[in-house]
Amino acid sequence: MIFYLYLALSVTTASAVLLSRGRRTMHAIGSLFYVVQALFAAWLLFGGGSGTSAGTIFAFDTTGTLFFLLLVIVSFWVFTHSEPYLSECAPTQTRSYFSLLLLLTTAITGAYFASNLAVTWIFLEATTLCSGGIIYHRRTAQTLEAAWKYVFVCSTGIAMAYLGILLLAGATRCESLSYDTVANVIAQSNPLYLKTACLLILCGYSCKMELFPLYTVGVDANFAAPSPASALISTGLVNAGFVALLRLYRLMARTEIFPWVRSVLLVVGVLSLLVGALFLRRTNNYKRFLSYSTVENMGIAAIGLGVGGVGVWAAVFHVVCHTFIKSSLFLQMAVVRQVYNGYRINRLGDYIRINRIGAIGLLAGMVVVLAFPPSPLFLSELMILGEAIAAGKWWLVGTMLLLLCIVIYSFCLRVLRLCYQPNQDELHPSKADRALSWSALSLLFVAMILGLWQPAVLRDIIDRIATL
């Protein structure tokens, strides 16, 4: 009942933003939305909500709760950063942007807490609708092209995923598509049907998790959407894809095809890492650059699931920490746009003189996303490599290390260029907002703290999530 009330209040406040007049009213309604999120989070954490369920289609398990808390934090930061970012936009456009941003947050929450394969699918489809509107925010031919591609490819991918879900339902012959019911009978199902279903679902959800093969739409979406929204798409929405995949992974762990599923995830992960590493070198746009970094990191998470054992723990921890790091970097990039009014890699430079805090944020972000200590990603990548060595997968270790070297080279080259090479673009009249740079940096601090010290509560939560 509480969750349905939460959903109703969230959708109502998000819709009210669309009808609001004036920026103050819009801000007030937006703040109300986050009060609702905070109250729901408090109910989950302290009111005994975690571990319960709402009817047969939503369950507030540890996985959903952890990723919901991350989503609320990132979404609030995105909302705060979006206001100055969109200050020059027309009120109608700003209203629809904020409304869609809040609806997207609600849809992602639904996907996190869905305890039914079909409901997960419905909410993921709903995120496509909201993201499409956000991508088209600027109403230009380029954003239209990106939005069209995003909606079209996501819809096609999600339709394929639905075919997979139906096949899974048919193969298990259970009366419900709830994860628990399917888990109880999946072991007796036809392995060939399960393999086909798994491939279709993985292929469909790859557009949300920004994994090979449908990663391209995510990159285009991040490129065309306003930078703060890219922070949410590249973390909260990607996490929704990860949660959906993790739930499928848990189902498959009960079947005889589990080793095959892990091999498929290894292949998908390595291909994503390869694509990320190669395109980090090729692209000439900082937002696409960060998006390919997301593809690379999700590839590492998929490899973690593929190697299994402690790799599953590392994959979950990797995705959790990536949420803080990537949202911080995208929000820093929003400040970069304030200064240069663009993202062209070969023309921008001298950022260290223009906005020292922002440049430090980007340089620190570079160190952390490249998994150098005190990065939490150092820990997760080390665990994944350790598990791969223990399993005797030397080809995987060699490939990962080689590709990670390319990533390190590309990242250092591009970020150092932005900070230190002579600038060749005209500066935008408005000054860099240092408060926003500090605010974005605070998310990175959280990630660095997690690299140095993982609270027992977090370790316990990830232990429970990683238990198959």
* Residues that bind another protein in the complex, under the rule CB under 8 A: 57, 116, 118-119, 121-122, 125-126, 128-129, 132, 140-142, 144-149, 151-152, 155-156, 159-160, 162-163, 166-167, 169-171, 173-177, 189-190, 192-193, 196, 220, 223-224, 279, 282-285, 288
Distance CA 169, CA 43 (A): 33
Closest to 113 in 3D by CA, of 173, 67, 180, 174: 67
**Shortest CB 292 distance to another protein, Å:** 9
**Shortest CB 453 distance to another protein, Å:** 39
Q: What are the CA-CA distances from residue 103 to residues 38, 132, 143, 163, 436 (Å)?
A: 16, 12, 20, 26, 24
Rank residues 70 and 348 by Cβ distance to another protein and give the closer one.
348
| SS3 state at 116 | strand
Rank residues 345 and 368 by Cβ distance to another protein and give the closer one.
345
**Shortest CB 272 distance to another protein, Å:** 16
**Shortest CB 176 distance to another protein, Å:** 6
Distance CA 233, CA 75 (A): 10
**Shortest CB 192 distance to another protein, Å:** 4
**Beta-ladder partners of 59:** 53
Rank residues 200 and 404 by Cβ distance to another protein and give the closer one.
200
Rank residues 81 and 288 by Cβ distance to another protein and give the closer one.
288
Residues 324, 446: contact at Cβ < 8 Å? yes
**Shortest CB 411 distance to another protein, Å:** 16
Give the type of residue at 372: F
**Shortest CB 67 distance to another protein, Å:** 22
Distance CA 146, CA 138 (A): 11
**Shortest CB 119 distance to another protein, Å:** 7
**Shortest CB 132 distance to another protein, Å:** 8
What lies within 8 Å, CB to CB, of 2 at 6+ separation is 40, 43, 49, 54
Rank residues 52 and 285 by Cβ distance to another protein and give the closer one.
285
Rank residues 247 and 393 by Cβ distance to another protein and give the closer one.
247
Rank residues 121 and 340 by Cβ distance to another protein and give the closer one.
121
Residues 444, 363: contact at Cβ < 8 Å? no
**Beta-ladder partners of 178:** 116
Distance CA 283, CA 383 (A): 30
Distance CA 462, CA 321 (A): 12
Closest to 358 in 3D by CA, of 237, 218, 223, 227: 227
What lies within 8 Å, CB to CB, of 135 at 6+ separation is 143, 146, 147, 150, 221, 224, 225
Rank residues 93 and 196 by Cβ distance to another protein and give the closer one.
196
Q: Is 89 exposed, middle or buried (0-12, 13-18, 19+ CB in 10 A)?
A: middle
E-strand spans in 330-409?
Answer: none
The packing angle between helices 62-85 and 434-452, to 10°, is 160
The two three-digit tokens of residue 464, written as one number: 């429970």
**Shortest CB 196 distance to another protein, Å:** 7
Residues 238, 294: contact at Cβ < 8 Å? yes
Rank residues 73 and 147 by Cβ distance to another protein and give the closer one.
147
Closest to 407 in 3D by CA, of 282, 235, 318, 226: 282
Rank residues 80 and 216 by Cβ distance to another protein and give the closer one.
216
